[in-house]
Each structure stands twice: as structure tokens, then as C-alpha cells.
Amino acid sequence: MITIDGRPVLSRADIHQQYGYAMSALERWWAARAENGHPDVVDRIGNTQYWDAEAWTEWDRKRLNPEVDPRLRTRDELGQDHGLSRSKLAALWRDRETNGHPAPVRIGGVMRWDTEEWGRWYEQQRTTRAYPVTSTVDQQAAAGDPDELIGSAEFGRLLGHRDHSWTAKAALAPPPGFPAPHTWGDPVGRKRPKWRRGDAITYTQNRGEIAAAQPVRRRRAGSTNQQPYMYYGDPRLTLAREVIRQHPDASQSELIERLHQRSDQPASRSTWRNIVITAQEHPED
């Protein structure tokens, strides 16, 4: 290693060779030094820039393991806070151009959101758009007699489901706050539950609050029957984290291709995509 005034220094080529980072990524980080705190050049020899080795290594360590403001929450953490599934959160993010979804802060390649800002935004979404009644049929359904008995299909339509299978299953294994059927119609087979329309509408309007009020179940030390996030403990997730660290500038498709080549465990491209997303959101266990 070259030294200047007795201090070990690194050129961009040295960093590329020792850490495996793409030259384009190193150039991009240097160009954005005003925002990311990249160390300054300590000397130049010809056209070659040199950085203090200790300072650069410490900066890179903090970049990979940032001290995150506790007010910033990942997508999974927001889901736990508000009782939302990953698919619901992904849908909200997908529609950000029309719903005004708050912009994220990227730390170590992971998107995070200010918990208060996101909570205020979601509360507005929940009260105005979370369970919209859009079609003429749905408007008529919501405006019906609250004492009228309705079946799984009608209840599912109020909830915004395309079919009634979820509602029928919920009658047998009800989630928190789900109303018990007023009658089963077929008391022996228990196959035709009926609810009062008013009870169904009340649940439809309040299910977001009900879910958010449920305590977050955290994984107990030593427990193996509840994972804190998808692919927890999966060796493929460990490999994905390693590949991301080695190739921080790679696209998702490039990462998936590298994982296909390096892993001895078969997985579809969609599975690798989910593993890459999880690795980006959870760089460490």
C-alpha cells in the first residue's frame, strides 16, 4: 500500500481491487460527496487521486452500517406498525404518483420513511381512499338496509374483494374484529353464513383501525416458528447480501443473474427477486 507522509492511502483503483466496488459506483459516490460525506482527497500524483485509507474505510463502514434515525422506518416496519401486508404496502408505493405517497430516504440501499409523516399520510388515505366504494352497485350495496342479511359474496364486495372466498374463510377463522355471522342458514354444514349489512359496513370502515390496534408479535429469543421477515435464516439471503455488497451498482436483473450463477440451490427468478428485495431492506439479521 502506498503511503504519503507516513499515512497509508488508497487510489480509486486500489479501492476497486480491494473492495470489489465498480469504478462507476466509486465515481458516483465521489461526485455526490457534498451529500454523502465522502472523505476528501489527501493528495494527487499526476492524474491519480488518493484518499486516506483509514478515513475511507471508516466512511465505507458507516455507509454499509448506518446509524439510522429511529424515526425512519422500513417498509416491513411500517407494515408492523399499521397492520398492513407487504402486498398492500407495495400497492400504495406503486400508486405513489396518484396517491401522494411520501418520498423515501435511502440508507445503505434500503428505503425508509419518516414514521410520523408516513402515518399522517396513511391516516388520510385510510379515511378517504383505503376502502373506496366506487361502482354504482357498491354504492347501492353500502346504502342498503343495515338490518338486511347478506351473504359472503355481498360482504366480499363491500370489502373490495373480487370473490367471496376470503369472507367465507373468515367466517370460520375470523381475524380480529371480524363480525360473527348473524345466522348460518345451514346450521349443520355451516356453509352459508349471513351477516347484517350494518355489521359488515362497520367492519369494512373500521378494519384498518382494528388491524393497527393489534399488538405486534415479535419473535422470541430461540423461537423458530415465527420469522421476523421473509427468508430469515435462508442461506440464499446471506448470499444475496454478499452479492449486493460486492456489486452495489448492479441492477436487480444483474444481481439475480449473479445469484443464479453462484447458488447451488434452485430458485425461480421471482423468488430471487423477492430475496434481493429482502436483502436490500434487511442488510443484516
| Confidence (pLDDT) at 26 | 92
Query: Is 161 among the domain residues?
Result: yes
| Confidence (pLDDT) at 222 | 47
Query: Is 222 among the domain residues?
Result: no
Query: Is 91 among the domain residues?
Result: yes
Structural domain containing residue 90: 72-128
Query: Is 77 among the domain residues?
Result: yes
Q: Which of 46, 64, 82 is the last residue of a domain?
A: 64
Q: Which of 25, 47, 64 is the last residue of a domain?
A: 64
Q: Which of 64, 80, 111 is the last residue of a domain?
A: 64
**What's the structural domain count of the chain?**
4
Query: Is 225 among the domain residues?
Result: no
Number of residues written out for the chain = 285
Per-residue pLDDT of the chain (285 residues; tens, 9 = 90+): 788 888 999 999 999 988 888 898 899 889 988 877 899 999 998 889 999 999 999 888 877 776 667 788 888 888 888 888 777 888 888 878 777 899 888 776 678 899 999 988 888 877 664 444 433 344 444 556 788 888 888 887 777 665 567 787 888 888 778 888 888 876 555 568 888 888 888 887 776 555 555 554 444 444 444 566 777 778 888 888 888 888 887 788 888 888 877 877 767 777 888 888 888 878 776
Please report, for the domain that includes residue 38, its CATH number.
1.10.10
Do residues 174 and 198 share a domain?
yes
Do residues 143 and 180 share a domain?
yes
